[in-house]
Amino acid sequence: MINVSKPNLPDLEKYVKYLKGIWDRNWLTNNGPLVNELELRLKEYLEVPHLLFLGNGTIALQIAIKALELKGEVITTPFSYVATTSSLVWENCKPVFVDIDMQSFNIDPAKIESAITENTTGILATHVFGNPCDIDAIEEIARKHKLKVIYDAAHCFGTKYKGKSVFNYGDISTTSFHATKLFHSVEGGAVFTSSSELLKKMSYLRNFGHNGPEDFEGAGINGKNSEFHAAMGLANLDIVDDILASRKEQSLQYNQILSGLNVKTVNIESGSDFNYAYYPVLFDNEEALLKAIQVLNGHNIMPRRYFYPSLNTLKYLERQDVPISEDISKRVLCLPLYYGLSKEEIDFISRLLLRAQNN
């Protein structure tokens, strides 16, 4: 079976070496040496001033919202994974959906200002599929209206914008190191900020508010991650350059073979270096998409309707009108893309899609 994604597993001997160190130290969690090593190496690799390694990408969003003290209405995108919206709801904020750009699938900055009210406190925008938002436009709006900005950069490991890691933008950026991501620590995530004050605040929030064993700075939660997860992250970090290069090569192969397929691909934001985290294709209509899925599934190939459905249709929210997101979500499909996917498998997938279109 060929799934849409497949977790990369690093060299087992290298991982076991890290495990032996954990056994020797008997230090399993609570900001251990491997967590600290991973944070330092990630800062160096990504060229970011501050980050915290966390339990997952969702807790990263929740901590970011809490650290910035967002309340009331938060402008966000309806085209993202459900965690983007559910984190706002969980923190008692009201998601206000702004429709997306038809070419990039990211939130459309031209539609943000009309959604701002006296109750708006922030913007939570997703860099969809690792493709950066129009960051300059968003941050200009945020400065004008004195709003905080969080970027959900769950897909963005290795993405750069204007020569810098995309994690350097916004008041806080968040990411996921889940097993399905191109860089992973099995489960994991991180928050990034240029503010040392925000970093300190989030460090308390991720560890129950502890400021020493018997003092608590404020209310916090358990957002920490373990030495075992940090070990996986360290082992994978050694080969992440190969992973990024492989995904680019695979995507270019798809581009070449699928040039005759009647689909569109995402428009990459100008001035950015894309990480090829996903390979989304946009069909002319939902019927063509469903036909393609049926053909691929019949050969044990499992693409994913990502993102579907549009988040404004969630049953626990008041319905908001975002027609472009609803339309795109019905027509977009992510094809298999992962480290180790062979040229022959990409060729097979592509030719099945061409066959589905022509039958």
Q: Which helix (H) or strand (E) holds 288?
A: helix 286-297
Among residues 181, 201, 291, 315, the one annotated as catalytic is: 181
Question: Residue 184 burial (CB < 10 Å; 0-12/13-18/19+)?
Answer: buried
Beta carbons within 10 angstroms of residue 323's beta carbon? 10
181 tagged catalytic: yes
Phi, psi of 66 (to 5 degrees): -70, -40
- The span from the CA of 229 to the CA of 190, in Å, is 13
- The span from the CA of 85 to the CA of 82, in Å, is 6
Nearest in space to 233 (alpha carbons), one of 14, 23, 38: 38
Please answer whether residues 40 and 233 qualify as being in contact, where contact means their C-beta atoms are separated by less than 8 angstroms. no
- The span from the CA of 297 to the CA of 300, in Å, is 5
Question: Which positions are catalytic?
Answer: 181
